[in-house]
């Protein structure tokens, strides 16, 4: 592993898949378990810890000690390294709204696994009707020649997403309210590719309408201009390629044709796989 220097102005960026895995581990916990802990995997670059994966660490917490299956954690990390060698141990996570008395003992183990590990807490008890996320680093305390200890200091934490994760989150948002409304379907299916293009175009048109309304209000002195919005609009205009309407239509039609070709090929492959599955089943039945 690479050497990690973690200042107090560190930022932790957590991907949604990590939060889903933590919640899933909490829902599958043993009946006598108060909280669940595990290992955070990811990378560190220029003061930013990006957490892209995690796994659960089976453990038991007693009044005066903590029992954890460290061999299981080591084996699972080695298996993950074979799949994705770029994901290193960057810290550990725990469910609950705050740091507990046993956190320092668990944190001491992770200091041997990686330099300056971060500690992430996810409030699965929904205190305040929300699932709070907090991140900490452990700062050593003490006096020269005396006793020493450590203190968990909060650091910045935010949720970030790759573009495919955003699509999945938008699909998950459509399931909100399924339990409260029995008349709605119990499942949600992904949109077709062309339907996604239409939906994205409608959203883009609505955003452009809002931008035009803002610009007209500023020009008509109905609203005070904001420098940050003006700079963002200027950057947006400079990012648009300088092309005529015919060139844009040709480029758009070309991309639509490519999309239709991909859809056609995927449907052909799906049909071929289904046909192969039926022929295999028929052969096995005849034999």
pTM of the model: 0.66
Ramachandran bin of 129, using left for φ above 0, alpha for ψ from -120 to 50, beta for the remaining angles: left
Question: Could you list the pLDDT tens digit for every one of the 287 residues in the chain?
Answer: 333 444 578 899 999 999 999 999 999 888 888 889 999 999 999 889 999 999 999 988 888 888 889 899 999 999 999 999 999 999 999 998 888 888 888 998 999 999 889 999 999 888 777 888 999 998 887 777 777 778 899 999 999 998 888 877 877 777 766 555 666 666 767 777 677 778 888 988 999 999 999 999 999 888 888 899 889 888 888 887 788 888 888 888 898 888 889 889 988 998 999 898 888 888 877 76
Distance CA 98, CA 132 (A): 10
Q: Report the mean per-residue pLDDT for the chain.
A: 85
| % of the chain at pLDDT higher than 70 | 92
Side-chain half-sphere CA neighbours of 189 within 13 A: 5
Distance CA 41, CA 18 (A): 9
Report the SS3 class of residue 241. coil
Distance CA 155, CA 157 (A): 6
Beta carbons of 161 and 15 less than 8 angstroms apart? yes
pLDDT of 133 reads 92
Residue 95: beta bridge partners?
122
> How deeply is 224 buried, as exposed, middle or buried, from its count of CB atoms within 10 A (0-12, 13-18, 19+)?
exposed
Distance CA 266, CA 193 (A): 12
Domains of the chain: 11-163 (3.40.140.10)
Q: What is the pLDDT of residues 13-31, one digit of tens each?
A: 999 999 999 999 999 888 8
């Amino acid at each position: 592993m690479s050497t990690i220097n973690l200042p107090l102005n560190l930022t932790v960026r957590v991907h949604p898949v990590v939060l889903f895995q933590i919640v899933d581990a909490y829902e599958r916990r043993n009946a006598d378990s108060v909280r669940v802990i595990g290992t955070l995997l990811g990378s560190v670059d220029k003061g930013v810890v990006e957490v892209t994966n995690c796994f659960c660490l089976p453990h038991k917490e007693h009044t005066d000690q903590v029992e954890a299956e460290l061999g299981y954690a080591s084996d699972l990390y080695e298996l993950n390294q074979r799949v994705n060698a770029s994901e290193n141990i960057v810290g550990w996570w725990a469910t609950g709204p705050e740091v507990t008395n046993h956190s320092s003992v668990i944190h001491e183990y992770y200091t041997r696994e990686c330099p300056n590990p971060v500690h992430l807490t996810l409030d699965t008890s929904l205190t305040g009707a929300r699932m709070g996320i907090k991140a900490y680093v452990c700062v050593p305390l003490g006096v020269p020649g005396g006793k020493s200890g450590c203190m968990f200091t909060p650091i910045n934490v935010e949720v970030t997403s790759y573009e495919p994760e955003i699509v999945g989150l938008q699909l998950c948002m459509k399931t909100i309210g399924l339990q409260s409304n029995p008349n709605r379907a119990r499942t949600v299916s992904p949109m077709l590719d062309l339907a996604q293009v239409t939906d994205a175009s409608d959203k883009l048109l609505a955003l452009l309408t809002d931008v035009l309304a803002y610009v007209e209000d500023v020009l008509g002195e109905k609203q005070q201009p904001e420098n940050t919005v003006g700079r963002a609009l200027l950057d947006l205009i400079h990012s648009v390629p300088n092309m005529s309407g015919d060139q844009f239509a040709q480029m758009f039609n070309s991309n639509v044709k490519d999309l239709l070709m991909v859809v056609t090929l995927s449907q052909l492959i799906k049909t071929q796989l289904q046909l192969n599955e039926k022929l295999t089943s028929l052969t096995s039945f005849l034999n």
